[in-house]
Structure 1
Amino acid sequence: MYHTIKTELTDNTLFIYINRPDKLNALNQEVMSELALAIDEVYSNKEIKSAVITGKGEKAFVAGADISEFLTLSTEQGTDLAKKGHVIFKHIEDCPKPIIAAVNGFALGGGCELAMACHFRIAATNAKFGQPEVNLGLIPGYGGTQRLTALIGKGKAMELMMTGDIITAEEALQWGLVNHVVAPGDLLLKATELLQKIHAKAPLAIARVIKCANAALDKDIDGYETELNEFGACFGTKDMQEGAEAFIQKRPAQFTGN
């Protein structure tokens, strides 16, 4: 089905591998199109409760965009390219099911932007992060200027984007860009461990957490109003009734997503 990505469904988690290790998993248009299809599957397949995006091979998550595709683009074509990236990465960000980036190796340029579009990030100790587009006379174009600023603050984000510097996994952890740093061999294990914990919670509540957290950074949405509405909507679900009864009865809740 896919040529540039690979997917595996295990324990209700769809593992999405960017599969161009000979090109350090660089994002070309085929990768972007196939990634979009995989994310559509996460939305639509009821068997899938979560997803992990990672890269094949030991060197790179995604080392950036495929620069060879940029050489002949006009201003209008460059804008169209960025628009496509914006749509796909926003679709990841807005997914009602948790999507984790498991960063193994380089996450540069579009790779860093892809990782930031996920709900949170886990990094292997050998991971490297950066937005070095200024070295090419470019800027981040897939939402990186906005998401990086939101995640690590304006000052650090501007320094990273203007210098083109690359930071280590430990620095990314200190700066708030990633949630956890683990040994490379434990990367997918850690992602699975966290997702299994999330799978035990109420799916509709998880989806509402994602929606409200995203609203906090959307200038066109009142985040507090979103929280009020989503909080109230929880009271119309069977899962909230089950959760409250289980708490009172001192037993584990059995959530059904209803």
Structure 2
Amino acid sequence: MNNIDSTSVISEVRNRVLYLALNRPSKLNALNRAVFDRLMEIIEPLERHQAIGCIVLGSTSDHFCAGADISMLASRNAEALRCDDMFAEWQAFADLKVPKIAAVKGCALGGGCELAMMCDIIYAREEAVFGQPEVKLGLIPGMGGTQRLTRRVGRAKAMELILTGRTISAHQACDMGLVSRVFTADFDDQVRAQAELIASYGGVATRAAVEAIGRAEQTSLAEGLLFERRVYHGLWNTDDCQEGLQAFIDKRPAKVVNR
């Protein structure tokens, strides 16, 4: 990752929350290699320690992300895209077990909607819009849209959204199950409060929860239940669990032990 553009994504840590902001306002925060490289530079160390309890991915402008940077892709041919396995590298962001919140303002279209779906929770400001309009370019979603959208909203809704390319409002997205909550006022403060709440809990447990819920989309119910029980059993030996149990008995707030 040489010559990484450190301005393409702005980062800040407050109260165990890592705030990431896409910063290409003139391009509506369209995704390119510079954005991916900068994100990876920031998040790669996070799996190795517990100092960060939650990640919030937002933007510095009034739009979350308009999708992949078409000007970057237009000159590529199909063979080059296949050889590079275009977009496969984004799975590293999706696989990060630190709880991730997408804070969506304005548009989250195409790759922007797919990037939001790589997060564990999507919060939207009231005027936000979502969509997978790739069909209008003679394409289909390529960063996981056909798979993640189907799992979030069901086959019927995913088919209609992808085949028509239409956009939906934040409230429609919430009703479908794509968005967790819509905040009509004080958006940044509301997102910050939720992120700090998640970060206030032990990182071992929250990361385990992210992994266990992810299993629900990948395995049978029987296998998922077995995985959940094994993780639950293992958590009893952690310092966070012992502190949490003792705090409950003592009727006091638990301290985050595992940092």
Check whether the contact 1:64–1:110 (CA below 8 A) recurs between aligned residues. yes
Tell me, yes or no, if structure 1 residue 211 matches structure 2 residue 211: yes
Residue by residue over 1:89-115, the C-alpha shift from the partner in whole angstroms, topping out at 9 and shown as x without a partner, is x33333222110000110000000000
Cα offset, 1:86, TM superposition: 3.2
Q: Structure 2-normalised TM-score? A: 0.91
Q: What letter corresponds to residue 87 of structure 2 in structure 1? A: G
Q: How many residues align?
A: 254
- In structure 2, the CA distance between the partners of 1:56 and 1:68, relative to structure 1 (3 Å rule), is same
Partner of 2:47: 43
Partner of 1:201: 201
Check whether the contact 1:107–1:129 (CA below 8 A) recurs between aligned residues. yes
Cα offset, 1:161, TM superposition: 0.4
Cα offset, 1:9, TM superposition: 1.5
Q: What letter corresponds to residue 149 of structure 1 in structure 2? A: T
- In structure 2, the CA distance between the partners of 1:252 and 1:217, relative to structure 1 (3 Å rule), is same
- In structure 2, the CA distance between the partners of 1:216 and 1:33, relative to structure 1 (3 Å rule), is same
Q: Structure 1-normalised TM-score? A: 0.91
Check whether the contact 1:32–1:85 (CA below 8 A) recurs between aligned residues. no
Cα offset, 1:46, TM superposition: 4.4
Tell me, yes or no, if structure 1 residue 108 matches structure 2 residue 112: no
Matched residue SS, 1:62: coil
- Work out which of the residue numbers 8, 12, 31 in structure 2 matches 1:4: 8
2-side partners of 1:80 and 1:99: how far apart? 30
- Work out which of the residue numbers 64, 67, 79 in structure 2 matches 1:64: 67
- In structure 2, the CA distance between the partners of 1:79 and 1:225, relative to structure 1 (3 Å rule), is farther
Considering only aligned residues, what root-mean-square deviation do their CA atoms show, in Å?
2.0
Check whether the contact 1:94–1:214 (CA below 8 A) recurs between aligned residues. no
2-side partners of 1:250 and 1:20: how far apart? 48
Cα offset, 1:64, TM superposition: 0.8
Matched residue SS, 1:123: strand
Check whether the contact 1:127–1:168 (CA below 8 A) recurs between aligned residues. yes
Check whether the contact 2:53–2:201 (CA below 8 A) recurs between aligned residues. no
Check whether the contact 2:243–2:257 (CA below 8 A) recurs between aligned residues. no
Partner of 1:28: 32
Greater shift, 248-257 or 104-113, is seen at 248-257
Residue by residue over 1:118-142, the C-alpha shift from the partner in whole angstroms, topping out at 9 and shown as x without a partner, is 0111101111100000001111111
2-side partners of 1:187 and 1:173: how far apart? 15
- In structure 2, the CA distance between the partners of 1:45 and 1:62, relative to structure 1 (3 Å rule), is farther
The structure whose RCO (Cα within 8 Å, separation 6+) is larger is 2
Check whether the contact 2:130–2:169 (CA below 8 A) recurs between aligned residues. yes
Cα offset, 1:187, TM superposition: 2.2
Tell me, yes or no, if structure 1 residue 148 matches structure 2 residue 143: no
Check whether the contact 1:131–1:160 (CA below 8 A) recurs between aligned residues. yes
Partner of 1:95: 96
Instruction: Give percent identity, aligned residues only.
Output: 38
Greater shift, 156-165 or 42-51, is seen at 42-51
Unaligned runs of 5+ in 1: none
1-side partners of 2:77 and 2:58: how far apart? 31
- In structure 2, the CA distance between the partners of 1:80 and 1:43, relative to structure 1 (3 Å rule), is farther
2-side partners of 1:10 and 1:249: how far apart? 29
Matched residue SS, 1:61: coil
- Work out which of the residue numbers 64, 86, 89 in structure 1 matches 2:88: 86
Greater shift, 70-79 or 125-134, is seen at 70-79
Unaligned runs of 5+ in 2: none
1-side partners of 2:131 and 2:239: how far apart? 44
Check whether the contact 1:92–1:99 (CA below 8 A) recurs between aligned residues. no
Q: What letter corresponds to residue 31 of structure 1 in structure 2? A: V
2-side partners of 1:85 and 1:38: how far apart? 18
Tell me, yes or no, if structure 1 residue 74 matches structure 2 residue 71: no
